[in-house]
Amino acid sequence: MQTQFVTQNIQNMFRNMCILLMFLGLVFIGCGGDDDSESESGDGESSADVIKPADSGQSKEDPLAGKKWADGDIPEIIISAETVKAFGEMSPEVGIVDDPDASNGKALRWADDAKANNPPIEDPTAWFSIEFMADAAEYFIWIRAKCDGDTGTDALWVQFDDQIGTLEHTADKDAPGRGLGNWRDVFDAGVYKWGSQEVPPPTVVSVKFKKKGLHKLRVQPRQVPHNIDQILLSQDQDERPEDDPMDSDIGKDPSAVEKEGKLEATWGTLKEVW
């Protein structure tokens, strides 16, 4: 009788222990399932914050990689003396001078003894250059400048992209040897005027970019000295602008692109320069 009681108690204890172990196992499995669920949820949220480029094959140096940029985003480019100083390059034979008649009180000026070239050469000692973003479009070229001398001091050469480093240049196709400018052929000395190619009959010179993106301009003198206030590249301005300078943000890097493809202002760079 006593043996049967003990045996029954042992069986009950064993059964209860099994039930307890099964319960603990279910709890452990449930907890493990919750951990996996949280981990997957966390990974899902992180993945949603990672934006993958639409074309991973594009170069990291491509300023348009992953950007939205429609044709017509940049109808004009305005390059001033401050723009070149802040974001471009220039040789020792060109400098920034104070000029109260210039758009922002500053102008680019070739040194009186700068080496002018006629025709343009591959590696000039007097030059300035700057990069800028542009559409795949035709741009009319206008230069606001003044000359204190005669008709032998008022012209320059402009080169774009693969013309730089060669003898090629952008000019009137019927008179390429005139370069651009020639303000004194029609305007008084010491007065800022917009011009493209001003030897009569004057012509509006243009450049056509086959590809939208980053482009480069280099300017070298055909004759010296003269002051340059602004350079305008415009898709619409096919007639001579009024004498006044163009309104522009001199702290805007013309080679920069925002997320939506518009030009990006960088005042900090300009402040460091001045």
Q: Domain containing 206 — which CATH number?
A: 2.60.120.260
Q: Which residue has the tokens 């009959």?
A: 201
Same domain? 152 vs 217: yes
Same domain? 119 vs 244: yes
Per-block mean pLDDT, blocks of 10 residues, the chain (274 long)? 51 60 47 36 28 34 50 89 96 96 96 95 98 97 94 95 97 96 94 96 97 97 96 97 92 74 41 38
Same domain? 242 vs 110: yes
Q: Which residue has the tokens 């280099």?
A: 218
Say if 88 falls within a structural domain.
yes
Say if 68 falls within a structural domain.
no
Same domain? 88 vs 179: yes
End position of a domain, from candidates 9, 34, 50: 50
- Which tokens hold the place of 251? 């702290």
pLDDT of the residue at 15: 63
Q: CA angle 91-170-225, nearest 5°?
A: 40
Say if 71 falls within a structural domain.
no
Say if 22 falls within a structural domain.
yes
**What is the number of H-type helices and E-type strands within the chain?**
3, 14
Say if 67 falls within a structural domain.
no
Alpha carbon of 82 to those of 9, 86, 104, 155, 252: distances in Å?
98, 6, 8, 21, 10
| pTM score, whole prediction | 0.70
Alpha carbon of 15 to those of 7, 10, 21, 22: distances in Å?
12, 9, 10, 11
Strand bridging mode 89-90 / 106-110 = unpaired
What does the alpha-carbon distance between residue 254 and residue 86 come to, in Å, rounded to a whole number? 11
What does the alpha-carbon distance between residue 274 and residue 263 come to, in Å, rounded to a whole number? 21
Q: Count of domains in the chain?
A: 2
Same domain? 43 vs 174: no
Alpha carbon of 25 to those of 22, 30, 133: distances in Å?
5, 8, 66
128 forms bridges with which residues in the sheet?
A: 90, 219
pLDDT of the residue at 32: 42
Say if 64 falls within a structural domain.
no
Say if 60 falls within a structural domain.
no
Same domain? 252 vs 200: yes
Same domain? 81 vs 46: no
Long-range contacts of 11-14 (CB under 8 A, 24+ apart): none
Same domain? 17 vs 124: no
Say if 63 falls within a structural domain.
no
180 secondary structure, DSSP code: E
**Residues whose CB falls within 8 Å of the CB of residue 199, separated by 6 or more in sequence, listed in order:** 175, 178, 182, 185
Domain extent for 32: 1-50
Closest CA to 119 of 197, 45, 171: 171
What does the alpha-carbon distance between residue 184 and residue 225 come to, in Å, rounded to a whole number? 12
Same domain? 204 vs 99: yes
pLDDT of the residue at 260: 45
